[in-house]
Each structure stands twice: as structure tokens, then as C-alpha cells.
Amino acid sequence: MSSAASHPAATPEGAHPFPHGHLTGIDGLQPWEIAFLLDEAEQWVALNRAATKHDDRLAGLTQINAFFENSTRTLLSFEIAGKRLGADVVNMHAAQSSVKKGETLLDTAITLNAMRPDIIVMRHGSSGAVQLIADKVDCPVLNAGDGWHEHPTQALLDALTIRRRKGAIAKQRVAICGDILHSRVARSNILALTALGAEVRVVAPPTLMPPAVERLGVTAFTDFDAGLDGCDVVMMLRLQTERMKSGLVPSAREYFALYGLTRERLEKAAPDALVMHPGPMNRGIEIASDIADDLDRSAITEQVEMGVAVRMACLDVLTRKGRGVEGWV
Amino acid sequence: MTGLTITGGTLIDPVADEERDGVVHVDDGLIAASEPEFAEPLDATGLHVAPGIVDLGVFAVDLPAFVAGGITRAALMPDQSVPLDEPSLIQRAAASGKPDVWIHPIAAATAGLDGEELAEIGLMQRAGACAVATGKSWIADGSVMLRVLRYAAALDLTVITTAEDAGLAGSAVATDGEASTRLGLAGAPAIAEAIAIARDLMLAEEAGARIHFRNVTTARGFDLIRDAKSRGLPVTCGITPAHLILCDVDIGPYRTFAKLTPPLRSADDRDAALAALADGTIDVIASGHDPQGTEAKRLPYADAEPGMAGAETLLTMSLGLVRDGRITLSRLFALLSSNPARILGIPGGSLDKGSPADIVMFDSDAPWKIDSEKMAASAGNTPFDGLPVQGRIAHVIKGGRLVIDRP
């Protein structure tokens, strides 16, 4: 067997590297398509570290960031990504406007479409809402998070971070820890990391564990220490405070005692285990400050950096067809 | 009124549980023993001739859909824009379908269907209500449900209940499982149904009431019903074709037309429903007809209204169960017609002399394709859109009058 054939991330001969009009999720992507986006992102990591961070391949194109749910970090990341590629970036903060109700979502889509954007980046609080819009508009749609469903660029930036820090994703033992049930970050990461050959574990209190999660190809743990055993990567998730109000978690201090990442607990993982968090962090609830700030162990700021690069790659790849790039028309 | 003589067809007799060649005479709106004096002939060669469908559980009066579906009597659930919780509303609903379809309104068990105070069940019975129902939701308070059951029992009315434990179901839009996890949809455990059935069975037994579970969809639920029936309790249950044919995987990429109440279950539960159909645990197949326009369905999945327009696909989807060898045609019409009539205590469901001349005639093999754009229903929200099916209705007779006639 050739090395290309045995490697799940190698593009098979004759296959298009990314034959999708939208990026609504990791679900439906082939391993080599995920790897292709990561490979594409590398050049943007380099550019973003250069003195002049500019490319003009999206010059003249309009990128609408339609955010139906509040966001600071992701919106900023997409805005910077678009601007560094030369796009005209417009932000629509629908969460703060009159467009709050689902009834107007399709009308909003039709309105946005009429403004002839070249790409729409969308976040919405309902699972499936981005797909609904993608089916209705003429331009590529990039999912920046829909409900509990998917957040594909987060999974890509996490994968890129792991690949750069660990040299590979395949065979890495990764524990995703926290509120798996309500987490689109967890779902996209499970799909991406298992596709790329990692051994994925999920660790959550039983009240925050999705039903039948093992059918997604992961091992589930309710005991944090057992789940951490020998892990190469420990990915912590943010615990929303409303989970305590709705009775899914007894209290912040109990959560931290059972599911908070401390230095002592991190000893269970591999000696060089990498600590990740999609942000924003709740220090003292899911992660202890000294771990979060330990530059040797924590990749949290690097994740943010990789986020811009991965989003640049996605914006570039998704608009290639519209820009008439050879091989993409 | 001129009579009819229907010849050449294969009669489906759910009461005798047989199919036979024979002639049906119609005189003065009823099925007659012999040919009436003035009879038009109706050639039913190549067709099946069956009692009109009695649909136990529709949520809207949608006459074109009922007529197209061979439904001659429809039991209207109390879940209307104004819940059917007082006699004048019952009276008006009862008159709303004539002459093409008879609407049999079901009285709300509690005022406003809010599960707290008894509605005027006795007065509604006098106004024409044929049964009592909890509505789309379960009555969470056991003491209220016990009162409803005792009261209905004294009036000799069947109580129709929706079995889904309210606490467990919460705001779920799917059944817990791989599909809900992959789609990121709020799910409820399938046992929410069995827990509610277990409670209501005990309360019904305590009250000595007849109870009908409108839509049972899980293995654990069927086990409870099977056990109650074996103990001789007056318990019946129903299901829709969608819950017999589809499972949670069919939600696919957020198909809101497949958002139903209860939500689609796992493939294992669907298989248990097919087994319960075959072994006689299920008494009724109903459409659950609930047309929802695009403004209610073209929404993110969690925000979309549940329900399907099921009336005009009820017969054809059910005929698929016969074709698959799961049940016989005569048993199918027990499920679609004679059992619901018996449970509701209304006429219909029979081709015997003296029965109302409610008759559906169909070609069980004729192929067609379900097209949500071309439905007679007030909205085309069917999860079976695009499906090639067999079984086409040729004639429908309601009370001796031809309401569909396309030979």
C-alpha cells in the first residue's frame, strides 16, 4: 500500500480538493478536504506574521458577516480575515436589531441576497439555520456557528493548532471536556478530529453528555481523571452560566471540583499534553488560571491566531468558483 | 334520492375480516340489502370497495384533503385556534363538513386544554361530541386526569390521550439518539411516552374508563398497551403511517416536514411499531392531519411547527403496509375504519345493510407520486414528498352521494 492510500488525509487522485459550495459543517467533508483547508491556512499563518499583512485576492468582493447571535471574538476574527484578503467586509449585528424572530429569517436571507454579496458568514442560535439560508442564497455561505450543531472553522483552527504543535493529528489522543451536549464546538471537533484519525474522548457530567455520543466514534467519560489518562491534547469547553440556572450543573464550585482543569489533574494526561480552549474562558470554573496562562502547556492564544488563518483559507477557497479561479469554475 | 348498485369490485369487509366479490346496493344514503327501485349502476371492476375511512384524530377541518383521501368521517381534535371546550363550539364544528364529510368533534377534557379544570364534557356530549381528548399535550397533573377519566366513564365516553411525560419532553424537538446528537437538536428520552402511558393506564383502570392512546410510537409503550389488553382492560391505541414508516434518521438535513408530534423515533422503535401492528396491539391508523403552511415550516427546525398534512396520503401509505405483507386489506380497514368508528361510538366502518353508505373505491396498484405542491390539503407539509406510491382512489361515496368520481 502506498503511503498516500494509507493516509486518510491524502487527496485521492482525480478528486477535487474541495467540491463544496458552502461550508455549513464538518459533516459531509472528506478527510482530505479538511486537510486541504488546513494546508491552505498555512500560507496565511505566515502572512499574518509578516510586517505587511495583506493580500488582495478578494478585492472588490463583498463579505457579509450576518451574526444573529452575539459574538465578539469570532466576528472580529472573520472581519480581520476578510480584510486581510482585501474583501469589503460588512457586519450585520442581527442579534441587536429587529431581526430576532425566526419568522423573518428567510426574508432576511432574501434581502441579503439582493445586495449581491460574494460570501455570507453566518451565525445563528438555532441548529440548522445556516443550512436553511445556504439553500436560499446564490453565494457561498460559511457557518460561524449554528445552535448546538456545528462551528466548522473552530474545529479547523483547533485541528491546525494540534497539527502544528504535535506534528500530526492522526493517533493523537484528544479529550474534549465540558458541556458536550450544548456545544457546536464539540460536535465539529469530534467530526474533524475523528476524520483525521485522532483518538477522541469526550468528558462531561452525565447531564451534559449527548445521547448516543459514542455513535460518533468517540469514547465517553463522566470521570474527568479517567478521561484524561494519557491524553496528548486536553480541549476544555466553556460552561455557560445558564446551565447552572437550568439545573444541569449543581454549582460552579462543584463543577470546578469535578470537571475543572487544574495542574494537579493535568498530571493524568501525557507529560507534554497541550491545553486548548475555544474561549472565552471562565477562569476558576472550567479551567484554573495558572494552566490557562502557562505558555508551555496552553495553546489558547495560538488557537486565536490560527483562527484568522483558517478563516482566510475558507474565505479564499469558497470564493474561488465565483472569482473564476482556474480549476474551480 | 337515486340509489346506486356497485358491481364488479372486490369488497373489503373489516367486520367479517374478509375480502369477497360482491355487489353493494345503496339506497337513501344507506347500504341496502337489495337493489333499490331507481339505481344507477357503478362499475367497480378492478377496484376494491371498502367502508369510508374514519380518521381518528385530525387537527384541522380540511375538506378537500379529506375527500381526496377517502375520509368520510373525521374526528376533530379539540386543539383548534379556540379550543373545543364548550357546547356551541362543538355544535359548530359538527356541522362544518356536511354533506361531503362528517366531522365528529372531540371535546376538550379541560377548559382551554390547559390541563387544570374540567371542561363542560356532559354539555359537549349533548352538543355532539363523541369523545373527550387531552389535546396535543398530556395532562401533567394526575389528579386532574383521574377526574377526567371518572367523569368520562360516567358519561360512557372514551378518553383520548396524548402520552408524553411533560417534564421529560420539556422543550424537546426530537427523540434522544444519534440523530438528535448529530443535528444538535434538543431531545427527550423515548421513555417519556411509556411513563405517561403507564400512569394513564393505572388511572384509567382506577376510574373504570375507556382510554385511547392516539399515537403510540415506542417499544416500551406498546409493551404496556399489550399487557393492559391481555388483562382485559378497555384500552386501544393508534399510530400514523409516518411513525410506522419513518424514523429519526429521516429528519435528515433539518427537514421540518418530518417534525412531528411525537417526534420520529429510533429505527428500533419503528420496528416495534410494525410488530405491534402485526400482532394486533395497534387498533387505529390515523392521519393526524395537521396542515402547516410554509410560514410555520420554513424555519429553523427547533422553531418550526410540528405536524404533517396526512389525510390524502393516509390510504396510499397504509396500502404499502399491506403490500409489504404486514397486514391484510381487511385488517387495514379495521384499523382505518371499523375500529375508529367503534371506539368513537359513531356509525360507519361497515358495508353491512343499514350502515351509512360511506364507501371508498380504489385501485390498489395504480402508481403515482406524492407531490407536496399538488396536494388538495390546505398545506403540503408531507414528509413523503416525492415518494412514488401505489393505490389511487377512484370513487368516494358519502351518505349515498358520489363526492369523488374518476373512473
B366: three-class secondary structure by DSSP: strand
Residues of B with Cβ-Cβ distance to A128 under 8 angstroms: 183, 185, 253-254, 300-302
Subunit contact B183:A211, Cβ cutoff 8 A = no
Q: Select from B171, B173, B182, B259 the residue whose CB has the most chain A CBs within 10 Å, as the one to mutate to test that interface.
A: B182
Among A314, A268, A327, A329, CA closest to A84? A314
Query: Chains A and B: how many Cβ contacts under 8 Å?
Result: 69
The pLDDT confidence band at residue A1, using thresholds 50, 70 and 90, is: very low
Q: How far apart are CA B22 and CA B400, in angstroms?
A: 18
Is B241 in contact with B288 (CB distance < 8 Å)? no
- CATH fold of B53-348+365-387 reads TIM Barrel (3.20.20)
Q: Which residues contact B332 (CB under 8 A, 6 or more apart)?
A: B12, B14, B285, B318, B319, B321, B322
Distance from CA of A2 to the nearest CA of B (A): 33
What's the pLDDT score for residue A108?
A: 86
Q: What is the pLDDT along chain B (407 residues), one digit of tens a residue?
A: 679 999 999 999 999 999 999 999 999 999 999 998 889 999 999 999 999 999 999 999 999 999 999 999 999 999 999 999 999 999 999 999 999 999 999 999 999 999 999 999 999 999 999 999 999 999 999 999 999 999 999 999 999 999 999 999 999 999 999 999 999 999 999 999 999 999 999 999 999 999 999 999 999 999 999 999 999 999 999 999 999 999 999 999 999 999 999 999 999 999 999 999 999 999 999 999 999 998 899 999 999 999 999 999 999 999 999 999 999 999 999 999 999 999 999 999 999 999 999 999 999 999 999 999 999 999 999 999 999 999 999 999 999 999 999 87
User: Is residue A5 scored above 50 in pLDDT?
Assistant: no
Among A236, A202, A228, CA closest to A216? A202
Q: What are phi and psi of A44, to 5 degrees?
A: -80, -30
List Cα–Cα distances, A25 to A28, A72, A151, A277, in angstroms: 7, 21, 7, 20
The pLDDT confidence band at residue A205, using thresholds 50, 70 and 90, is: very high
What's the pLDDT score for residue A97?
A: 58
On average, the pLDDT of chain A sits at 93
What's the pLDDT score for residue B282?
A: 98
Q: What are phi and psi of A236, to 5 degrees?
A: -95, 145
pTM score above 0.95: no
Subunit contact B180:A210, Cβ cutoff 8 A = yes
Question: What is the average pLDDT across A246-274?
Answer: 95
Q: How far apart are CA A251 and CA A200, in angstroms?
A: 27
> What number of other Cβ atoms are within 10 A of residue B302's Cβ?
24
Is A276 in contact with A232 (CB distance < 8 Å)? no
What's the pLDDT score for residue A305?
A: 98
Give the three cell numbers for residue B180: 438528535
- Which residues 232-291 on chain A approach chain B with CB closer than 8 angstroms? none
Residues of B with Cβ-Cβ distance to A129 under 8 angstroms: 300
